[in-house]
Structure 1
Amino acid sequence: MVVSVKSGPDSESESSLLLAGSSQKTPEDVFHLAYIIYFTLGLGFLLPWNAFITAVDYFTYVYPDTSVDRVFAVAYMVVGLFCLLIIVFYAHKSDAYFRINVGLGLFVVSLLVVPVMDAVYIKGRVGLYDGFYVTVGAVALSGIADALVQGGLIGAAGELPDRYMQAIVAGTGFSGSL
Protein backbone atom coordinates (compact mmCIF):
# COMPACT_ATOMS: atom_id res chain seq x y z
CA MET A 1 0.00 0.00 0.00
CA VAL A 2 1.41 3.36 -1.04
CA VAL A 3 0.24 6.47 0.75
CA SER A 4 0.81 9.80 -0.87
CA VAL A 5 1.11 12.82 1.35
CA LYS A 6 -0.15 16.08 -0.09
CA SER A 7 0.89 19.39 1.23
CA GLY A 8 -1.61 22.10 1.71
CA PRO A 9 -4.64 22.97 3.78
CA ASP A 10 -6.74 19.99 2.64
CA SER A 11 -4.09 17.33 3.31
CA GLU A 12 -4.50 14.83 6.09
CA SER A 13 -2.17 15.12 9.04
CA GLU A 14 0.61 12.59 9.47
CA SER A 15 -0.89 11.23 12.68
CA SER A 16 -4.24 10.56 11.04
CA LEU A 17 -2.44 8.68 8.25
CA LEU A 18 -0.65 6.54 10.82
CA LEU A 19 -3.83 5.86 12.74
CA ALA A 20 -5.81 5.06 9.59
CA GLY A 21 -3.98 1.77 9.18
CA SER A 22 -4.75 0.56 12.69
CA SER A 23 -8.42 -0.22 12.90
CA GLN A 24 -8.04 -2.45 15.95
CA LYS A 25 -9.66 -1.35 19.18
CA THR A 26 -7.54 -1.40 22.32
CA PRO A 27 -8.68 -4.19 24.67
CA GLU A 28 -10.22 -2.98 27.89
CA ASP A 29 -8.25 -3.58 31.10
CA VAL A 30 -11.27 -4.61 33.18
CA PHE A 31 -9.57 -5.43 36.48
CA HIS A 32 -6.62 -3.07 35.86
CA LEU A 33 -4.25 -6.06 35.84
CA ALA A 34 -2.07 -4.70 33.05
CA TYR A 35 -1.80 -1.38 34.90
CA ILE A 36 -0.82 -3.19 38.11
CA ILE A 37 1.77 -5.27 36.23
CA TYR A 38 3.36 -2.20 34.64
CA PHE A 39 3.29 -0.41 38.02
CA THR A 40 5.02 -3.39 39.65
CA LEU A 41 7.63 -3.57 36.88
CA GLY A 42 8.28 0.18 37.28
CA LEU A 43 8.68 -0.39 41.00
CA GLY A 44 10.98 -3.33 40.38
CA PHE A 45 13.58 -1.75 38.14
CA LEU A 46 14.47 1.02 40.58
CA LEU A 47 14.13 -0.97 43.80
CA PRO A 48 17.59 -2.66 43.60
CA TRP A 49 19.31 0.73 43.24
CA ASN A 50 17.36 1.99 46.23
CA ALA A 51 18.40 -1.10 48.19
CA PHE A 52 22.07 -0.47 47.52
CA ILE A 53 21.97 3.25 48.19
CA THR A 54 19.81 2.88 51.32
CA ALA A 55 22.35 0.48 52.82
CA VAL A 56 25.14 3.03 52.39
CA ASP A 57 25.52 3.31 56.18
CA TYR A 58 26.28 -0.39 56.39
CA PHE A 59 28.76 -0.20 53.53
CA THR A 60 30.40 2.90 55.03
CA TYR A 61 30.84 0.99 58.30
CA VAL A 62 32.33 -2.08 56.61
CA TYR A 63 34.51 -0.06 54.19
CA PRO A 64 35.43 3.07 56.18
CA ASP A 65 38.16 4.46 53.90
CA THR A 66 35.98 4.85 50.79
CA SER A 67 33.20 7.19 49.77
CA VAL A 68 30.75 4.41 49.06
CA ASP A 69 27.82 6.51 47.86
CA ARG A 70 29.91 8.26 45.21
CA VAL A 71 31.51 5.06 43.93
CA PHE A 72 28.12 3.33 43.80
CA ALA A 73 26.54 6.22 41.90
CA VAL A 74 29.32 6.36 39.30
CA ALA A 75 29.40 2.59 38.83
CA TYR A 76 25.63 2.31 38.49
CA MET A 77 24.98 5.32 36.30
CA VAL A 78 27.93 5.03 33.90
CA VAL A 79 27.43 1.32 33.29
CA GLY A 80 23.66 1.77 32.99
CA LEU A 81 24.00 4.66 30.55
CA PHE A 82 26.53 2.80 28.39
CA CYS A 83 24.33 -0.30 28.24
CA LEU A 84 21.22 1.77 27.54
CA LEU A 85 22.97 3.41 24.59
CA ILE A 86 23.87 -0.01 23.22
CA ILE A 87 20.27 -1.13 23.66
CA VAL A 88 18.97 1.93 21.83
CA PHE A 89 21.14 1.19 18.82
CA TYR A 90 20.49 -2.57 18.79
CA ALA A 91 16.94 -2.84 20.20
CA HIS A 92 15.62 -4.18 16.92
CA LYS A 93 17.82 -7.28 17.25
CA SER A 94 16.20 -8.60 20.46
CA ASP A 95 12.74 -8.86 21.93
CA ALA A 96 11.65 -6.61 24.78
CA TYR A 97 10.36 -9.50 26.89
CA PHE A 98 13.76 -11.20 26.61
CA ARG A 99 15.60 -8.05 27.77
CA ILE A 100 13.14 -7.57 30.63
CA ASN A 101 13.45 -11.16 31.85
CA VAL A 102 17.24 -11.22 31.58
CA GLY A 103 17.41 -7.89 33.42
CA LEU A 104 15.15 -9.13 36.22
CA GLY A 105 17.33 -12.24 36.55
CA LEU A 106 20.44 -10.06 36.79
CA PHE A 107 18.71 -7.98 39.47
CA VAL A 108 18.19 -11.12 41.55
CA VAL A 109 21.84 -12.13 41.14
CA SER A 110 23.13 -8.66 42.01
CA LEU A 111 20.95 -8.45 45.10
CA LEU A 112 21.97 -11.91 46.33
CA VAL A 113 25.71 -11.36 45.94
CA VAL A 114 26.09 -8.96 48.88
CA PRO A 115 24.25 -10.92 51.61
CA VAL A 116 25.84 -14.21 50.54
CA MET A 117 29.28 -12.61 50.48
CA ASP A 118 28.63 -11.06 53.90
CA ALA A 119 27.58 -14.40 55.37
CA VAL A 120 30.44 -16.38 53.82
CA TYR A 121 33.39 -13.98 53.58
CA ILE A 122 32.91 -10.63 55.37
CA LYS A 123 31.20 -11.94 58.54
CA GLY A 124 30.93 -8.40 59.95
CA ARG A 125 34.66 -7.67 59.73
CA VAL A 126 35.69 -4.16 58.77
CA GLY A 127 38.14 -3.29 56.00
CA LEU A 128 38.01 -6.30 53.69
CA TYR A 129 38.21 -4.34 50.47
CA ASP A 130 38.00 -7.39 48.23
CA GLY A 131 34.37 -7.47 49.34
CA PHE A 132 34.03 -3.82 48.36
CA TYR A 133 35.16 -4.54 44.82
CA VAL A 134 32.68 -7.41 44.55
CA THR A 135 29.95 -5.11 45.90
CA VAL A 136 30.79 -2.44 43.32
CA GLY A 137 30.63 -5.17 40.68
CA ALA A 138 27.18 -6.13 41.97
CA VAL A 139 26.11 -2.47 41.75
CA ALA A 140 27.41 -2.30 38.17
CA LEU A 141 25.58 -5.55 37.36
CA SER A 142 22.47 -3.93 38.75
CA GLY A 143 23.08 -0.99 36.40
CA ILE A 144 23.24 -3.38 33.45
CA ALA A 145 20.03 -5.03 34.60
CA ASP A 146 18.37 -1.63 34.99
CA ALA A 147 19.29 -0.71 31.42
CA LEU A 148 17.91 -3.99 30.10
CA VAL A 149 14.64 -3.77 32.03
CA GLN A 150 14.16 -0.05 31.51
CA GLY A 151 14.95 -0.24 27.81
CA GLY A 152 12.55 -3.11 27.22
CA LEU A 153 9.80 -1.87 29.49
CA ILE A 154 9.71 1.73 28.26
CA GLY A 155 9.71 0.49 24.69
CA ALA A 156 6.89 -1.97 25.34
CA ALA A 157 4.78 0.58 27.21
CA GLY A 158 5.36 3.15 24.48
CA GLU A 159 3.30 1.01 22.12
CA LEU A 160 0.36 0.95 24.54
CA PRO A 161 -2.02 3.66 25.72
CA ASP A 162 -0.52 6.47 27.81
CA ARG A 163 -1.78 5.14 31.14
CA TYR A 164 0.70 2.25 31.04
CA MET A 165 3.66 4.58 30.69
CA GLN A 166 2.17 6.51 33.61
CA ALA A 167 2.01 3.24 35.56
CA ILE A 168 5.75 2.68 35.02
CA VAL A 169 6.60 6.21 36.13
CA ALA A 170 4.29 5.94 39.16
CA GLY A 171 5.89 2.61 40.11
CA THR A 172 9.35 4.16 39.82
CA GLY A 173 8.27 7.08 42.00
CA PHE A 174 6.74 4.72 44.55
CA SER A 175 10.00 2.76 44.64
CA GLY A 176 11.86 5.91 45.62
CA SER A 177 9.45 6.63 48.45
CA LEU A 178 9.37 3.01 49.61
Structure 2
Amino acid sequence: MVMSETPPRLEGKYAAIVICWFLGIGGLFAWNSMLTIVDYYIYLFPKYHPSRVLTIVYQPFVFATQAILAYNEAKISTRIRNLFGYTVVFFGILALLILDLATSGKGGIGTFIGICIVSGVFGIADAHVQGGMVGDLSYMLPEFIQVSITISFLAGSAASGALTSALRLITKAVFENSPGGLRKGAILFFAISSFFELLCVILYAFIFPKLPIVKYYRSKAASEGSKTVTADLAAAGIKTSPGIDMEDSKQQDRKGIKQLLSENIDYAVDLFLIYVLTLSIFPGFLSEDTGSHSLGTWYALVLIATFNVFDLIARYIPLVKILKMESRKMITTAVISRFLLIPAFYFTAKYGKQGWMIFLTSFLGLSNGYLTICVFTSAPKGYKGPEQNALGNMLMLCLLGGLFVGVTLDWLWLIGKGW
Protein backbone atom coordinates (compact mmCIF):
# COMPACT_ATOMS: atom_id res chain seq x y z
CA MET A 1 0.00 0.00 0.00
CA VAL A 2 1.55 3.32 -1.04
CA MET A 3 0.36 6.54 0.61
CA SER A 4 1.16 10.10 -0.45
CA GLU A 5 2.93 12.37 2.04
CA THR A 6 -0.06 14.71 2.33
CA PRO A 7 -3.73 13.78 2.34
CA PRO A 8 -5.34 14.27 -1.09
CA ARG A 9 -8.64 15.21 0.53
CA LEU A 10 -9.75 16.35 3.95
CA GLU A 11 -13.49 15.76 3.68
CA GLY A 12 -14.99 14.95 7.02
CA LYS A 13 -12.44 16.89 9.08
CA TYR A 14 -14.96 18.86 11.12
CA ALA A 15 -17.33 15.92 11.36
CA ALA A 16 -14.42 13.90 12.80
CA ILE A 17 -13.73 16.61 15.37
CA VAL A 18 -17.37 16.67 16.49
CA ILE A 19 -17.64 12.87 16.64
CA CYS A 20 -14.37 12.63 18.60
CA TRP A 21 -15.76 15.17 21.03
CA PHE A 22 -18.83 12.99 21.57
CA LEU A 23 -16.69 9.86 21.86
CA GLY A 24 -14.50 11.62 24.39
CA ILE A 25 -17.58 12.42 26.45
CA GLY A 26 -18.75 8.82 26.18
CA GLY A 27 -15.36 7.50 27.26
CA LEU A 28 -15.83 8.79 30.80
CA PHE A 29 -19.54 9.53 30.89
CA ALA A 30 -20.40 6.44 32.94
CA TRP A 31 -17.67 6.99 35.51
CA ASN A 32 -18.51 10.67 35.86
CA SER A 33 -22.13 9.62 36.30
CA MET A 34 -21.16 7.65 39.41
CA LEU A 35 -19.17 10.62 40.74
CA THR A 36 -21.90 13.19 40.19
CA ILE A 37 -24.60 10.96 41.65
CA VAL A 38 -22.61 10.97 44.90
CA ASP A 39 -25.28 12.93 46.80
CA TYR A 40 -27.72 10.08 46.18
CA TYR A 41 -25.21 7.39 47.13
CA ILE A 42 -24.18 9.26 50.30
CA TYR A 43 -27.88 9.35 51.23
CA LEU A 44 -28.26 5.59 50.57
CA PHE A 45 -24.93 4.49 52.08
CA PRO A 46 -23.94 7.11 54.70
CA LYS A 47 -21.50 4.76 56.49
CA TYR A 48 -19.66 3.37 53.46
CA HIS A 49 -17.88 6.50 52.09
CA PRO A 50 -19.21 5.86 48.55
CA SER A 51 -17.26 8.68 46.86
CA ARG A 52 -14.00 7.13 48.08
CA VAL A 53 -14.87 3.42 47.93
CA LEU A 54 -16.30 3.49 44.41
CA THR A 55 -13.24 5.38 43.20
CA ILE A 56 -10.75 3.01 44.78
CA VAL A 57 -12.65 0.01 43.40
CA TYR A 58 -12.65 1.52 39.91
CA GLN A 59 -8.97 2.47 39.73
CA PRO A 60 -7.23 -0.95 40.12
CA PHE A 61 -9.38 -2.40 37.32
CA VAL A 62 -8.76 0.48 34.93
CA PHE A 63 -5.03 0.55 35.66
CA ALA A 64 -4.45 -3.23 35.44
CA THR A 65 -6.50 -3.52 32.26
CA GLN A 66 -4.69 -0.60 30.64
CA ALA A 67 -1.32 -2.10 31.59
CA ILE A 68 -2.20 -5.36 29.85
CA LEU A 69 -3.59 -3.59 26.81
CA ALA A 70 -0.62 -1.21 26.55
CA TYR A 71 1.81 -4.15 26.61
CA ASN A 72 -0.08 -5.89 23.80
CA GLU A 73 -1.27 -2.79 21.91
CA ALA A 74 0.45 -3.71 18.64
CA LYS A 75 -1.61 -6.90 18.36
CA ILE A 76 -5.04 -5.63 19.42
CA SER A 77 -7.62 -4.32 16.96
CA THR A 78 -8.55 -0.79 17.99
CA ARG A 79 -12.04 -1.27 16.55
CA ILE A 80 -12.80 -4.32 18.65
CA ARG A 81 -11.20 -2.72 21.69
CA ASN A 82 -13.16 0.53 21.51
CA LEU A 83 -16.48 -1.06 20.58
CA PHE A 84 -16.10 -3.47 23.49
CA GLY A 85 -15.46 -0.56 25.86
CA TYR A 86 -18.38 1.59 24.75
CA THR A 87 -20.77 -1.37 24.69
CA VAL A 88 -19.82 -2.54 28.19
CA VAL A 89 -20.26 0.99 29.53
CA PHE A 90 -23.75 1.13 28.01
CA PHE A 91 -24.80 -2.11 29.67
CA GLY A 92 -23.11 -1.06 32.93
CA ILE A 93 -25.26 2.06 33.22
CA LEU A 94 -28.33 -0.03 32.43
CA ALA A 95 -27.29 -2.39 35.23
CA LEU A 96 -27.15 0.50 37.73
CA LEU A 97 -30.61 1.62 36.63
CA ILE A 98 -32.04 -1.90 36.88
CA LEU A 99 -30.38 -2.44 40.29
CA ASP A 100 -31.96 0.71 41.67
CA LEU A 101 -35.40 -0.21 40.29
CA ALA A 102 -35.13 -3.80 41.54
CA THR A 103 -34.25 -2.69 45.08
CA SER A 104 -36.77 0.19 45.08
CA GLY A 105 -33.98 2.59 45.95
CA LYS A 106 -33.11 0.91 49.24
CA GLY A 107 -29.60 0.91 50.68
CA GLY A 108 -27.84 -1.99 52.33
CA ILE A 109 -24.58 -3.83 51.91
CA GLY A 110 -25.90 -6.08 49.11
CA THR A 111 -26.90 -3.14 46.92
CA PHE A 112 -23.63 -1.36 47.65
CA ILE A 113 -21.59 -4.43 46.65
CA GLY A 114 -23.55 -4.61 43.39
CA ILE A 115 -22.72 -0.96 42.66
CA CYS A 116 -19.05 -1.64 43.48
CA ILE A 117 -19.03 -4.52 40.97
CA VAL A 118 -20.40 -2.21 38.27
CA SER A 119 -17.72 0.34 39.22
CA GLY A 120 -15.04 -2.32 38.60
CA VAL A 121 -16.63 -3.19 35.25
CA PHE A 122 -16.55 0.49 34.31
CA GLY A 123 -12.82 0.43 35.05
CA ILE A 124 -12.25 -2.42 32.59
CA ALA A 125 -14.39 -0.77 29.92
CA ASP A 126 -12.86 2.69 30.36
CA ALA A 127 -9.33 1.29 30.00
CA HIS A 128 -10.32 -0.14 26.63
CA VAL A 129 -11.79 3.15 25.44
CA GLN A 130 -9.33 5.68 26.86
CA GLY A 131 -6.12 3.95 25.80
CA GLY A 132 -7.70 2.69 22.60
CA MET A 133 -8.96 6.08 21.44
CA VAL A 134 -5.82 8.00 22.43
CA GLY A 135 -3.64 5.40 20.71
CA ASP A 136 -5.94 5.31 17.69
CA LEU A 137 -5.89 9.08 17.28
CA SER A 138 -2.19 9.53 18.07
CA TYR A 139 -0.93 8.17 14.74
CA MET A 140 -2.68 10.87 12.74
CA LEU A 141 -0.52 13.69 11.41
CA PRO A 142 0.60 16.06 14.22
CA GLU A 143 -0.53 19.28 12.52
CA PHE A 144 -4.05 17.87 12.29
CA ILE A 145 -4.42 15.60 15.28
CA GLN A 146 -2.80 17.84 17.86
CA VAL A 147 -4.84 20.89 16.98
CA SER A 148 -8.19 19.27 16.47
CA ILE A 149 -9.04 15.63 17.05
CA THR A 150 -6.79 14.93 20.05
CA ILE A 151 -7.99 18.10 21.73
CA SER A 152 -11.56 17.27 20.82
CA PHE A 153 -11.31 13.78 22.32
CA LEU A 154 -9.52 14.84 25.52
CA ALA A 155 -11.74 17.90 25.83
CA GLY A 156 -14.69 15.59 25.27
CA SER A 157 -13.49 13.53 28.21
CA ALA A 158 -13.53 16.67 30.33
CA ALA A 159 -16.87 17.66 28.85
CA SER A 160 -18.31 14.40 30.14
CA GLY A 161 -17.65 15.66 33.66
CA ALA A 162 -19.14 19.07 32.96
CA LEU A 163 -22.15 17.58 31.18
CA THR A 164 -22.87 15.00 33.89
CA SER A 165 -22.57 17.70 36.54
CA ALA A 166 -25.00 19.94 34.65
CA LEU A 167 -27.46 17.08 34.17
CA ARG A 168 -27.23 16.16 37.85
CA LEU A 169 -27.85 19.73 38.98
CA ILE A 170 -30.87 19.97 36.66
CA THR A 171 -32.39 16.63 37.71
CA LYS A 172 -31.81 17.46 41.37
CA ALA A 173 -33.50 20.85 40.97
CA VAL A 174 -36.47 19.43 39.04
CA PHE A 175 -37.31 16.79 41.65
CA GLU A 176 -36.01 18.50 44.78
CA ASN A 177 -39.42 19.25 46.31
CA SER A 178 -41.23 16.07 45.26
CA PRO A 179 -41.51 12.86 47.32
CA GLY A 180 -38.48 10.67 46.62
CA GLY A 181 -37.08 13.51 44.52
CA LEU A 182 -33.44 12.52 45.04
CA ARG A 183 -34.08 9.03 43.67
CA LYS A 184 -36.25 10.25 40.78
CA GLY A 185 -33.49 12.59 39.70
CA ALA A 186 -30.95 9.76 39.87
CA ILE A 187 -33.13 7.46 37.75
CA LEU A 188 -33.66 10.12 35.08
CA PHE A 189 -29.95 10.84 35.14
CA PHE A 190 -29.03 7.18 34.52
CA ALA A 191 -31.60 6.88 31.73
CA ILE A 192 -30.10 9.87 29.89
CA SER A 193 -26.59 8.48 30.43
CA SER A 194 -27.45 5.08 28.95
CA PHE A 195 -28.96 6.73 25.85
CA PHE A 196 -25.79 8.78 25.34
CA GLU A 197 -23.56 5.69 25.56
CA LEU A 198 -25.70 3.93 22.96
CA LEU A 199 -25.19 6.94 20.69
CA CYS A 200 -21.41 6.58 21.09
CA VAL A 201 -21.57 2.92 20.07
CA ILE A 202 -23.45 3.85 16.90
CA LEU A 203 -21.12 6.75 16.05
CA TYR A 204 -17.93 4.72 16.43
CA ALA A 205 -19.25 1.57 14.76
CA PHE A 206 -20.98 3.01 11.69
CA ILE A 207 -20.07 6.66 11.06
CA PHE A 208 -16.57 7.52 12.28
CA PRO A 209 -14.64 4.84 10.29
CA LYS A 210 -16.26 5.94 7.00
CA LEU A 211 -15.14 9.57 7.15
CA PRO A 212 -12.61 10.25 4.33
CA ILE A 213 -10.04 11.92 6.59
CA VAL A 214 -10.18 9.03 9.09
CA LYS A 215 -9.82 6.46 6.29
CA TYR A 216 -6.80 8.30 4.96
CA TYR A 217 -4.88 8.37 8.23
CA ARG A 218 -5.73 4.78 9.07
CA SER A 219 -4.57 3.69 5.63
CA LYS A 220 -1.35 5.63 6.18
CA ALA A 221 -0.83 3.92 9.54
CA ALA A 222 -1.36 0.54 7.87
CA SER A 223 1.24 1.41 5.22
CA GLU A 224 3.72 2.14 8.04
CA GLY A 225 3.22 -1.32 9.51
CA SER A 226 0.32 -0.86 11.93
CA LYS A 227 -1.81 -3.98 12.33
CA THR A 228 -4.27 -2.45 14.77
CA VAL A 229 -6.29 -0.67 12.07
CA THR A 230 -7.16 -3.64 9.85
CA ALA A 231 -10.68 -4.07 11.22
CA ASP A 232 -11.31 -0.30 11.04
CA LEU A 233 -10.30 -0.22 7.38
CA ALA A 234 -12.43 -3.28 6.63
CA ALA A 235 -15.44 -1.54 8.22
CA ALA A 236 -14.79 1.39 5.89
CA GLY A 237 -14.66 -0.91 2.86
CA ILE A 238 -10.88 -0.67 2.37
CA LYS A 239 -8.85 -3.79 1.74
CA THR A 240 -5.26 -3.70 2.92
CA SER A 241 -2.54 -5.02 0.65
CA PRO A 242 -1.15 -8.46 1.45
CA GLY A 243 2.38 -7.18 2.00
CA ILE A 244 2.70 -9.10 5.28
CA ASP A 245 6.45 -9.54 5.14
CA MET A 246 7.00 -5.84 4.54
CA GLU A 247 4.66 -4.92 7.39
CA ASP A 248 6.37 -7.38 9.73
CA SER A 249 9.69 -5.80 8.84
CA LYS A 250 8.32 -2.36 9.64
CA GLN A 251 6.96 -3.61 12.94
CA GLN A 252 10.41 -4.94 13.82
CA ASP A 253 11.99 -1.56 12.94
CA ARG A 254 9.69 0.36 15.26
CA LYS A 255 11.02 1.61 18.57
CA GLY A 256 10.23 -0.53 21.59
CA ILE A 257 8.22 0.57 24.61
CA LYS A 258 11.39 0.96 26.75
CA GLN A 259 12.99 3.28 24.21
CA LEU A 260 9.79 5.31 23.81
CA LEU A 261 9.55 5.62 27.59
CA SER A 262 13.16 6.74 27.96
CA GLU A 263 12.67 9.42 25.29
CA ASN A 264 9.46 10.68 26.91
CA ILE A 265 10.08 9.97 30.60
CA ASP A 266 9.40 13.57 31.61
CA TYR A 267 5.99 13.54 29.92
CA ALA A 268 5.17 10.21 31.56
CA VAL A 269 6.13 11.47 35.03
CA ASP A 270 4.28 14.74 34.45
CA LEU A 271 1.02 12.92 33.66
CA PHE A 272 1.49 10.65 36.66
CA LEU A 273 2.01 13.59 39.04
CA ILE A 274 -0.82 15.68 37.57
CA TYR A 275 -3.36 13.00 38.41
CA VAL A 276 -1.80 11.97 41.73
CA LEU A 277 -2.45 15.51 42.95
CA THR A 278 -5.89 15.87 41.34
CA LEU A 279 -7.31 12.57 42.57
CA SER A 280 -5.94 13.04 46.07
CA ILE A 281 -8.42 15.93 46.32
CA PHE A 282 -11.17 15.18 43.77
CA PRO A 283 -13.77 13.79 44.35
CA GLY A 284 -13.37 12.30 47.85
CA PHE A 285 -12.06 15.32 49.74
CA LEU A 286 -14.43 17.71 47.98
CA SER A 287 -17.42 15.43 48.68
CA GLU A 288 -16.84 14.67 52.36
CA ASP A 289 -14.19 16.88 53.99
CA THR A 290 -15.08 20.48 53.18
CA GLY A 291 -17.47 21.05 56.08
CA SER A 292 -21.05 22.35 56.19
CA HIS A 293 -21.91 25.61 54.47
CA SER A 294 -24.93 27.63 53.38
CA LEU A 295 -25.28 25.63 50.16
CA GLY A 296 -26.18 22.56 52.19
CA THR A 297 -26.61 19.37 50.14
CA TRP A 298 -25.79 21.34 46.99
CA TYR A 299 -22.27 22.15 48.18
CA ALA A 300 -20.51 18.95 47.07
CA LEU A 301 -22.32 19.02 43.72
CA VAL A 302 -21.30 22.64 43.16
CA LEU A 303 -17.64 21.85 43.92
CA ILE A 304 -17.62 18.84 41.58
CA ALA A 305 -19.35 20.86 38.86
CA THR A 306 -16.85 23.70 39.34
CA PHE A 307 -13.91 21.35 38.88
CA ASN A 308 -15.42 19.75 35.77
CA VAL A 309 -16.34 23.05 34.10
CA PHE A 310 -12.92 24.63 34.59
CA ASP A 311 -11.20 21.39 33.58
CA LEU A 312 -13.17 21.54 30.33
CA ILE A 313 -12.44 25.23 29.70
CA ALA A 314 -8.72 24.70 30.28
CA ARG A 315 -8.48 22.02 27.60
CA TYR A 316 -9.34 24.56 24.93
CA ILE A 317 -6.78 27.16 26.06
CA PRO A 318 -3.88 25.47 24.15
CA LEU A 319 -5.81 26.05 20.93
CA VAL A 320 -4.46 29.61 21.20
CA LYS A 321 -0.83 29.04 20.25
CA ILE A 322 0.59 31.89 22.33
CA LEU A 323 -1.07 30.40 25.45
CA LYS A 324 0.19 26.85 24.88
CA MET A 325 3.06 25.75 27.11
CA GLU A 326 5.51 23.73 24.99
CA SER A 327 8.74 23.86 27.02
CA ARG A 328 9.29 20.48 28.67
CA LYS A 329 11.02 22.09 31.67
CA MET A 330 8.23 24.62 32.15
CA ILE A 331 5.57 21.90 32.04
CA THR A 332 7.42 19.86 34.67
CA THR A 333 7.91 22.94 36.88
CA ALA A 334 4.20 23.76 36.66
CA VAL A 335 3.24 20.17 37.50
CA ILE A 336 5.42 20.09 40.62
CA SER A 337 4.20 23.54 41.73
CA ARG A 338 0.61 22.24 41.81
CA PHE A 339 1.41 20.27 44.98
CA LEU A 340 1.16 23.56 46.89
CA LEU A 341 -2.60 23.06 46.48
CA ILE A 342 -2.57 20.35 49.16
CA PRO A 343 -1.87 22.70 52.11
CA ALA A 344 -4.04 25.32 50.45
CA PHE A 345 -7.05 22.98 50.42
CA TYR A 346 -6.33 21.79 53.96
CA PHE A 347 -6.31 25.26 55.52
CA THR A 348 -9.20 26.48 53.37
CA ALA A 349 -11.37 23.55 54.48
CA LYS A 350 -10.44 24.23 58.09
CA TYR A 351 -10.63 28.01 58.23
CA GLY A 352 -11.92 29.40 54.92
CA LYS A 353 -15.38 30.17 53.62
CA GLN A 354 -17.09 28.35 50.75
CA GLY A 355 -16.15 31.07 48.25
CA TRP A 356 -12.44 30.38 48.74
CA MET A 357 -13.03 26.64 48.40
CA ILE A 358 -14.87 27.16 45.12
CA PHE A 359 -11.99 29.36 43.91
CA LEU A 360 -9.37 26.72 44.78
CA THR A 361 -11.47 23.99 43.14
CA SER A 362 -11.71 26.03 39.94
CA PHE A 363 -7.92 26.42 39.88
CA LEU A 364 -7.48 22.68 40.47
CA GLY A 365 -9.65 21.94 37.43
CA LEU A 366 -8.05 24.67 35.33
CA SER A 367 -4.49 23.46 35.93
CA ASN A 368 -5.48 19.81 35.51
CA GLY A 369 -7.07 20.28 32.08
CA TYR A 370 -4.46 22.71 30.75
CA LEU A 371 -1.39 20.65 31.69
CA THR A 372 -2.98 17.41 30.48
CA ILE A 373 -3.50 18.83 27.00
CA CYS A 374 -0.02 20.40 26.91
CA VAL A 375 1.55 16.99 27.59
CA PHE A 376 -0.60 14.95 25.20
CA THR A 377 -0.27 17.39 22.31
CA SER A 378 3.50 17.74 22.67
CA ALA A 379 4.61 14.15 23.22
CA PRO A 380 3.73 12.12 20.07
CA LYS A 381 5.96 14.05 17.66
CA GLY A 382 8.46 12.58 15.21
CA TYR A 383 7.23 8.98 15.39
CA LYS A 384 5.67 6.57 12.92
CA GLY A 385 2.06 5.47 13.26
CA PRO A 386 2.68 2.28 15.28
CA GLU A 387 5.08 4.12 17.59
CA GLN A 388 2.59 6.93 18.19
CA ASN A 389 -0.06 4.35 19.01
CA ALA A 390 2.28 2.70 21.52
CA LEU A 391 3.28 6.04 23.04
CA GLY A 392 -0.34 7.12 23.37
CA ASN A 393 -1.16 3.91 25.25
CA MET A 394 1.91 4.27 27.46
CA LEU A 395 1.09 7.87 28.41
CA MET A 396 -2.49 6.89 29.20
CA LEU A 397 -1.13 4.12 31.45
CA CYS A 398 0.95 6.70 33.35
CA LEU A 399 -2.12 8.90 33.70
CA LEU A 400 -4.16 6.00 35.09
CA GLY A 401 -1.30 5.08 37.43
CA GLY A 402 -1.50 8.61 38.81
CA LEU A 403 -5.26 8.24 39.23
CA PHE A 404 -4.77 5.00 41.18
CA VAL A 405 -2.15 6.43 43.53
CA GLY A 406 -4.15 9.64 43.94
CA VAL A 407 -7.38 7.94 45.05
CA THR A 408 -5.35 5.85 47.50
CA LEU A 409 -3.72 8.95 49.01
CA ASP A 410 -7.16 10.57 49.23
CA TRP A 411 -7.91 8.31 52.20
CA LEU A 412 -5.18 10.09 54.20
CA TRP A 413 -7.56 13.04 54.65
CA LEU A 414 -9.61 10.79 56.98
CA ILE A 415 -6.77 10.30 59.49
CA GLY A 416 -7.85 11.50 62.89
CA LYS A 417 -11.53 11.75 61.95
CA GLY A 418 -12.61 8.44 63.48
CA TRP A 419 -14.08 7.01 60.29
Greater relative CO, 1 or 2 (CA 8 Å, sep 6+):
1
2:46 alignment partner in structure 1 = 64
What fraction of aligned residue pairs are identical, expressed as a percent? Answer: 26
Q: Give CA deviations for 1:43-89 in whole Å, capped at 9, x if unaligned.
A: 11111111001111111211222000111111112211111111100
Which segment drifts farther, 56-65 or 95-104?
Answer: 56-65
1:129 alignment partner in structure 2 = 109
Going from structure 1 to structure 2, the CA distance change for 1:77 and 1:29 (only over 3 Å counts) comes to farther
CA distance in 2 between counterparts of 1:144 and 1:29 reads: 34
Secondary structure at the counterpart of residue 47 of structure 2: coil
2:155 alignment partner in structure 1 = 170
Question: Map of 1:25-64 to 2, 5 A cutoff?
Answer: 25-26=6-7, 27-30=9-12, 32-64=14-46
2:129 alignment partner in structure 1 = 149
Aligned AA for 2:26?
A: G
2:80 alignment partner in structure 1 = 98
Going from structure 1 to structure 2, the CA distance change for 1:23 and 1:43 (only over 3 Å counts) comes to same
1:24 shift after superposition: 3.7
CA distance in 2 between counterparts of 1:75 and 1:82 reads: 12
Secondary structure at the counterpart of residue 64 of structure 1: coil
Q: Normalized against structure 1, the TM-score is what? A: 0.82
Q: Normalized against structure 2, the TM-score is what? A: 0.36
Superposition RMSD in Å: 1.6
Going from structure 1 to structure 2, the CA distance change for 1:30 and 1:152 (only over 3 Å counts) comes to closer
Going from structure 1 to structure 2, the CA distance change for 1:30 and 1:92 (only over 3 Å counts) comes to closer
Aligned AA for 2:109?
A: Y
Secondary structure at the counterpart of residue 125 of structure 1: coil
Unaligned runs of 5+ in 1: 1-20
Q: 2:120 aligns with which of 140, 144, 155?
A: 140
Q: Give CA deviations for 1:3-41 in whole Å, capped at 9, x if unaligned.
A: xxxxxxxxxxxxxxxxxx963422414561111111111
1:140 shift after superposition: 0.9
Find runs of 4+ consecutive structure 1 residues off by over 6 angstroms.
none
2:64 alignment partner in structure 1 = 82
